[in-house]
A and B are shown apart, each in its own frame.
Chain A
Amino acid sequence: MTETALHILVIDNDRLRASIIEEGLREAGHARVTIIDDFKAIVRRITEIDPDVIFIDLENPRRDELEHMFQVSRAVKRPVAMFVDRSDQASIEAAIDAGVSAYVVDGLRKDRVKSILDTAISRFRAFDRLKRELDTARTALAERDVIDRAKGILMRSRGITEPEAYAMLRKTAMNQSRRIAEVAESLVLAAGLLSREGEP
């Protein structure tokens, strides 16, 4: 028995996340995936794409607009219901926990949609992990920058070498049970205040 591939639409203004979801769906064998990253002429575009399943970020502020359109637009032919099955509380909870909302054309068989939904949920989670990793990396970069600036201030004001400046920061941090980056930040802040006070 052959079934036509379901057409999946992902509406997400975060292009990175959208492409991560798309990749996951394609890997799972769903080739018909379309991504829209804005709401321009949304009704016409949804009519043209004629999707079977729609995913949108749970936090997208335009979901009320989308749901209204599903309810009343004559252009979008088939009624669209939310989620696979209202009684499938576990899927609904998993999706909302992951931050994704799904709209599925009424009458689609549950088993056909379930795997698509599961893939989208796991990809939303993967994106969250990636974002956290990126944030950590960014924080680390920012910390290195502030430590460099603090070392520079110490080297100039005390006439010491870079290793000496770093050792001084480390010692202060240990004495105060603080992180080196925190000590460096206080120093940069204080130096900024002092130099500004000195200005005319």
Chain B
Amino acid sequence: MSRNVCAGFMPLLDCAPLIVAAARGFAEQEGLNLVVLRETSWATVRDRLAVRHLDVAHVLAPMPIAANLGLGPLSCPMQVPMSLGFGGNTVTVSRAVWEALAREGAPADFDAAATAAAMSRVVAARQARGEARLVFAVVHTHSAHHYELAYWLASAGIVPGADVELIVVPPSLAAAALAAGQIDGFCAGEPWGSVAVAQGAGVIVTTKAHIWRASPEKVLGVRSEWADAAPDRLDALLRAVYRAAVWCDDPANRDELARLLARPEYIGQAAEALRPGLERRLTAPDGTAHTVPDLLTFADRAATFPWISHALWLYTQMVRWQQAEMSADGLDIAAATYRPDLYRRALAPIGAMMPSANSKIEGAPAVETPAGASGGRLTLGPDGFFDGRIFDPENALAYLESLQTGASAQKISGA
């Protein structure tokens, strides 16, 4: 069995564990020849997986679920044996929108509830004056960015698609689109929010971590056929990427990580542009630097564990935004896409932190809390959605109904 692994990635900070596994010898230690290939769009990642150019990839967490549900074109059966961490995204708006938000009392501390409330007043005032709808960009239809931005807007009564437009723009072009006035805001992974700030085009108003503290973002997506063909090879890859993720979380390695990721074959941006995200220090609207401890987590607090409750939450959002129909089959397919069993098989033998459950109540606990685990002391939390809701994966339907109460005709529209 070949020990070659072709892995696709997009130039974003959270591709780090895959890059580090390849470049720092973690894959080699496992006897793997891990080749990482940069792609230019999620569509290309998906296509190359489908025709077996790629075996595995750094993908948006909802993508493998969407593939298994048959939602997009050209899908192949996918599995998620590992998450690539929490967080990483910012909501960045144009300077003009920030000024309007500030007049409506938006704070400069990234608080999600207060900025959403100010946003709803800005949107209402624009409607009253008969002005064009604000246009927000996300990176993909099936992305956590889409779901968290829509969640944040809807929490303040703003109906995405009706009150504001949602379109898709690649993250690397988002800062330019903001500067050119083609969009009014975007939700994208770092470094792109900080790049917009550095260019003077944008202001970060809140972050993924402020919307949902320990929330899923990217995962290691694996072609089912490839995973099933050689379980040993998959286990070796998971061990390599896990050790790389732990390495990425170590503050002592940040400098080296920034310089590595900056290289043209990886993210291809100046190391300086990558630092705000890696150091979890963002420029607030008032120009001061704020530490956001949960901005990006590679491995800590079991961030690499593929929680089935994450898959189910993502599925509820596909239903909420009318990408999928709620069904028992859909719930089963979403749950079966995530494979904590494979994670355990590969990582329990090396003593990795191993939660005892496969699913948990999302949005809780509010404070750091010990959790059942082997391989060390595991604390989960602090977690939480900014609006205080919790998601019980056993009651997905009731959760969905509670979210939709009062909302009408929520549909994401095109440009």
A contact set with B: CB distance below 8 Å: 42-43, 58-65, 67-69, 71-76, 81-83, 86, 89, 92-93, 96-97, 101
Contacts and interface: CB of A to CB of B under 8 A. Distances in A.
B141 A68 contact: yes
A65 B168 contact: yes
A97 B44 CA distance: 12
Contact of A72 (B73, B74, B169, B413): B413
Interface residues of B, number: 27
B415 A69 contact: yes
Q: Among the interface residues B43, B48, B141, B413, which one has the most CB atoms of the partner chain A within 10 A?
A: B43
A60 B172 CA distance: 12
A138 B384 CA distance: 58
A64 B53 CA distance: 19
A89 B51 CA distance: 8
A148 B237 CA distance: 52
B224 interface: no
B43 A63 contact: yes
A65 B43 CA distance: 9
Contacts of B139: 64
A72 B415 CA distance: 9
Contact of A62 (B41, B51, B74, B414): B41
B140 interface: yes
B223 to A, nearest CB: 14
Interface string B140-178: 110000000000000000000000000111101100000
B279 interface: no
Interface string B246-265: 00000000000000000000
A75 B40 CA distance: 27
Given A82-B74, A96-B47, A101-B47, A64 B414 contact: no
Contacts of A61: 40-41, 170, 172-173
Q: Is the interface of B mostly helix, strand, loop or mixed?
A: loop
Nearest to A40: B182
Nearest to B173: A61
A65 B177 CA distance: 13
Given A61-B172, A68-B141, A96-B48, A101 B414 contact: no
A81 B70 CA distance: 12
B44 A92 contact: no
A118 to B, nearest CB: 17
Given A83-B73, A96-B47, A65 B167 contact: yes
B140 A92 contact: no
A63 B46 CA distance: 11
Contacts of B48: 96
Q: Which of A62, A81, A92 has the most CB of B within 10 A?
A: A62
Given A81-B73, A92-B74, A101-B47, A64 B140 contact: yes
Given A96-B47, A96-B51, A60 B73 contact: no
Nearest to A62: B170
Interface string B395-412: 000000000000000011
Nearest to B70: A86
Interface in B361-415: 411-415
Given A67-B43, A82-B74, A73 B413 contact: yes
Nearest to A72: B414
Contacts of B173: 61-62
A75 B414 contact: yes
| Residue among A65, A67, A83 with the highest chain B CB neighbour number at 10 A | A65
Most buried by B among A59, A63, A69: A63
A155 to B, nearest CB: 38
Nearest to B322: A72
Report the 6 A-B pairs with minimum CB-CB distance, sorted nearest first: A73-B414, A82-B73, A68-B168, A63-B43, A65-B168, A61-B40
Interface string B119-146: 0000000000000000000011100000
A93 B50 CA distance: 9
A86 B74 contact: yes
A108 B44 CA distance: 24
Contacts of B72: 67
B175 to A, nearest CB: 14
A73 B141 CA distance: 12
A82 B141 CA distance: 16
Contacts of B412: 72
Nearest to B43: A63
B75 to A, nearest CB: 9
Contact of B169 (A65, A73, A83): A65
B51 A63 contact: no
A175 to B, nearest CB: 35
A96 B415 CA distance: 28
A137 B169 CA distance: 37
Nearest to A71: B141
A185 B414 CA distance: 54
30 contacts: A43-B414, A60-B40, A61-B40, A61-B41, A61-B173, A62-B170, A64-B140, A64-B141, A64-B168, A65-B167, A65-B169, A67-B72, A67-B73, A67-B168, A68-B140, A69-B167, A69-B168, A69-B415, A72-B141, A72-B412, A72-B413, A74-B414, A76-B414, A83-B74, A86-B73, A89-B51, A92-B51, A92-B74, A96-B48, A96-B51
